[in-house]
Structure 1
Amino acid sequence: MSVRIRLKRIGKKHRPIYHIVVADSRAPRDGKFIEKLGTYNPHMNPPYTVLKMQKSVSWLIKGAQPTDTVRSIFSKNGVLFKKHLLKGVKKGVFSHEVANHKFDLWLKKEKTDSK
């Protein structure tokens, strides 16, 4: 079974809001899913995103493949960077504390860049 992390469309006509979900790749777009990871509203400026960071990272580590749009959302919110750091911890390149420190520095930098 191939698992994908993708968007599930909800909302009114011409005003979609999306749930970021983990689903079997054979399931329809708005059909059955395994777990909800967050929401994405593209109509706000900047787009409003709420994510469960740990759940998202754990699904990526398990091998779930994100779609291109979800990959972009994850990249902007630091999920892919967090996964990259945890891979380094697993390989023994640095400790968990160093990984958390690097991620906190990245978050601070992103907040200052967005202002």
Structure 2
Amino acid sequence: MSVKIRLKKIGKKHRPIYHIVVADSRAPRDGKFIEKLGTYNPHTDPPSTVLKMENAVSWLMKGAQPTNTVKSIFSKNGVLLKKHLLKGVKKGVFTDEEYQKKFYFWYKKYKI
């Protein structure tokens, strides 16, 4: 079974809001899903995103493939960076303290 992380459309006509969900790739866009990871509202300025970062990283580590839009959202929120750093810790490239320091530096510089 191939697992995708994608957007599920909710909301009114012409004012969609999206849930970021983990779903089987064969399921319809607004159909069954495995887990809800957060929400994305493109109508605010800047677009607002609420994410369960730890759950998103764990699904990525398990091999779930994000769609292009979700990949962009994850990149802007640091999920892909966190996954990359955790893989480095797992391989022994750097320690857990270095991983936390690098992620904290990125978070302070780009998120706030």
Scaled to the shorter chain, the TM-score interval is: over 0.9
- Taking the aligned partners of 1:76 and 1:84, their CA distance within structure 2 comes to 14
Other-structure match for 1:72: 72
Superposition TM-score, scaled by structure 1 size:
0.96
The CA deviation at 1:97 is 1.4
Q: Deviations over 1:47-89 (max 9, x none)?
A: 0000000000000000000000000000000000000000000
Mapping for residues 17-96 of structure 1, pairs under 5 Å: 17-96=17-96
Identity percentage over the alignment?
79
Gaps of 5+ in 2: none
- Taking the aligned partners of 2:50 and 2:40, their CA distance within structure 1 comes to 7
Alignment partner of 1:94: what SS? Answer: coil
- Taking the aligned partners of 2:54 and 2:111, their CA distance within structure 1 comes to 20
Gaps of 5+ in 1: none
Query: CA-atom RMSD, angstroms?
Result: 0.7
Aligned residue-pair number: 112
